[in-house]
Structure 1
């Protein structure tokens, strides 16, 4: 006497098809089922476990679920739970980072910084101190200072310079020794390297007017008075 199995065990795909969760055609894995949950909520670990239990309850008693497949589904559940915990941890870290950035930003407003640039707002009664980035040892470098009209008002020679940042001081006077009006001035430095003229980077002081905090985790941007913005990572010195 033979026994014929007339029951039809429900697979995970069948359970998903009869529930409010839709599966992707041609893909029977739970990963594809998690792609579209009912409403607009993602398939979480609780729903995953509920589906797993429902599948076990509705399996064919004559053809129970393979042990290997069951272990694989448990491993999937464990991975899902781990990813959920990781996401919560990362979100917490991101929140703390944004708070730290806001605190850091508030302490920088009104401070003086030195950063790469070719312009500076100068109070000529006090003068200005900056630096020139020298890529390698050179016999000399030339610093030129121009007013708002582009006219060169002062030329400063930097002799026998070694690689690194070479400091300079401008007293706010032109080449004839006359005190100039306060305002925005343009700085440019050049030298000769291997017989070729080369432009050098100048590092100039500026005052931080405000700070822009990225909403996507990007870098903090300092808005300098009358000079535009510069990334915090490019700032070389932060003063009072």
Structure 2
């Protein structure tokens, strides 16, 4: 073969004595495509990543505090606050990791395609969460609550206190990582999944747990890690929104 396929082949018993068949089946039971130049990130994707980073940098200097103060002063009985408070619950990774892990363990033997989908979701969200938590400890950004109590703002480096683990948002990484994973599995629902993920990510800002830039970068990391996991181990076809 002129090109290497970046997956571990799975050997399957063959009816021919002394031989084995190699299974390159994808996440929906179709064949994996060999890696090619067309599979590298497109210019539009690179520009989107750069755009998010630029907006997040600008937000840190300009918008983070005003937006945090706006939602801090918003009445709790507001319908918008109530909706986002409810959505905030679903950004917890346990609501994704536990079901996907159980599905993989329960159906890996008899329903391998379903198990592959569950494994993809689990690995994507877990990997994004690990990366985000590492970055949190390194940069140690003060959470909005510290701004309202002592006007503490900025990065304090290598702290493990919860109040200094604001950047990036873990809930946002989970929400957008899961949304991207589901979009890869069911491309036809891509826009719905991404919208739901964005709303859950935004809820972290509304409830006062994170700044706007925390949410943006957290969501970006979750989506990028999911795309990387897909390309390396679960490739089948690109997300077609």
Q: TM over 0.5: same fold? A: no
**TM-score, normalising length from structure 1?**
0.23
Greater strand share, structure number: 1
Greater helix share, structure number: 2
Larger RCO (CA within 8 A; separation ≥ 6): 2
**TM-score, normalising length from structure 2?**
0.22
